[in-house]
Amino acid sequence: MFVALRDIRFARGRFALMGAVVALITTLVVFLYGLTGGLAADSSSAIAGLPAQDVVFGAPQGATPGVSFSNSSVSAAQQSAWESAPGVGSVSPVGIAMSRLTTAGSASSVSVLGVPAALLPPLTAGTAPGAGQVAVGQKTASADGVTVGSTVTVGARTLTVSGITADRSYGHAASVWTTVPTWQQVSGATGPSALAVDPGSADTAALDRAQNTDTVSRGSALAGIDGFSAEQGSLQMIQGFLFVVSALVIGAFFTVWTVQRRTDIAVLKAVGASSGYLVRDALGQALILLLGGSLVGAGVGLAGGALLRGGGMPFVLGAATVAVPVLAMVLLGLAGAALAVRRITSVDPLTALGANR
């Protein structure tokens, strides 16, 4: 990269400008990536954190079951059939409903989950809820001034807080946890919304056919949360567009840069440089630009993300938040640059001798 490094040093203004563009796009992608992850967690962490391999959705006899927590309802007969099926490891009912939690002086939207104690998130204080009791997340407890032993109203039912759990949420509402019978009283439902199962060696497809249920992995079950797929799909589409834009911008820059360097390229070819040498040199230049720009952009994105998260915005800060956007920017940018610098191969060294004279 003898020429590449010296070109960057010589045309530092142009490369700084282009590096700033790469940095800005990377910052935007890191923001989006962190927000996408944060919104996903805000929408689904109660389900994603369930200690179960699969989720079984049910439908009344004659209706077609589908992956939707809102539409799903598992009957006692279906639950019993799954529990007694040979080879099934474990079956736990899960009830989900949206409601309102009211304390003295405050009210907030919550998702109410009715589950056995084994499916509860980790308790940080108190005990698992029994009949007429509820466990709330740390943020809810802190925001509403709730402690173990406090009385809260969930929907129309008054419940006693038995414990404080790690924070989980469903459908962008903080989750509170209670038993399935208490959940039925709060929600008015006659049976659980779904079953959390460890299928063991059971033939789940055969069980689904026999019981009119639909079994999917826990990860696939997230699509059953209202709005989850549309929300994530929109954000991921914007990320994709940004990656395409970055590749086009890098490609356009190196197209112009290569055209401007045609005389230099012709001279280098005339004095014996191979096209391979020149292409490697140009791609090395693109790699330096992309790495420099994307790492600066990722740093800015992370710092901005930390500020957003401090302000209460859902934002996931992690290795993937940086690594995926940086890697994608570098790879797609290199692809754009490769399309541009292939023009090097068509430069005729004869032009260095003034072949147009």
Partner 1 sequence: MSTVTLTTGLTLRDVVLTYPDGDRRLTALDRVSLSVAPGELTAVVGPSGSGKSSLLAVASTLLRPDSGQVLIAGADAGALSPRQATALRRDRVGIVFQQPNLLASLTALEQLLVVENLRGGRARAAHGRAERLLASVGIADGKQYRRPHQLSGGERQRVNIARALFAEPSVLLVDEPTSALDHERGAQIVELLADVTRDYATATVMVTHDRALLDRADQVLEMVDGYLG
Q: Which residues of this chain interact with partner 1, rule CB under 8 A?
A: 2-3, 6-7, 9-11, 263-264, 267-274, 277, 349-350, 352-355, 357
Neighbours of 63 (CB within 10 A): 11
Q: In this structure, what is the dihedral angle of CA atoms 168, 140, 119, 149, given to the nearest 10 degrees? A: 170
Least separation in angstroms between residue 23's CB and partner 1 is: 23
| Of 7 and 208, CB closest to partner 1 | 7
| Of 122 and 357, CB closest to partner 1 | 357
Confirm if 92 and 116 have CB atoms less than 8 A apart: yes
| Of 280 and 309, CB closest to partner 1 | 280
| Of 143 and 288, CB closest to partner 1 | 288
Confirm if 21 and 164 have CB atoms less than 8 A apart: no
Cα gap 168→135, rounded to integer Å: 11
Least separation in angstroms between residue 11's CB and partner 1 is: 7
Least separation in angstroms between residue 248's CB and partner 1 is: 26
Q: Which residues contact 95 (CB under 8 A, 6 or more apart)?
A: 112, 113, 114, 115, 180, 183, 184, 187, 189, 192, 193
Least separation in angstroms between residue 174's CB and partner 1 is: 59
| Of 11 and 249, CB closest to partner 1 | 11
Least separation in angstroms between residue 339's CB and partner 1 is: 23
Cα gap 204→223, rounded to integer Å: 19
Cα gap 326→292, rounded to integer Å: 10
Query: Which run of H or of E encompasses 163?
Result: strand 157-165
Least separation in angstroms between residue 137's CB and partner 1 is: 59
| Of 10 and 241, CB closest to partner 1 | 10
Instruction: Tell whether the torsion through CA atoms of 195, 200, 205 and 206 is positive or negative.
Output: negative
Least separation in angstroms between residue 262's CB and partner 1 is: 12
In this structure, what DSSP letter does residue 179 have?
-
| Tokens coding 6 | 């010296």
| Of 189 and 267, CB closest to partner 1 | 267
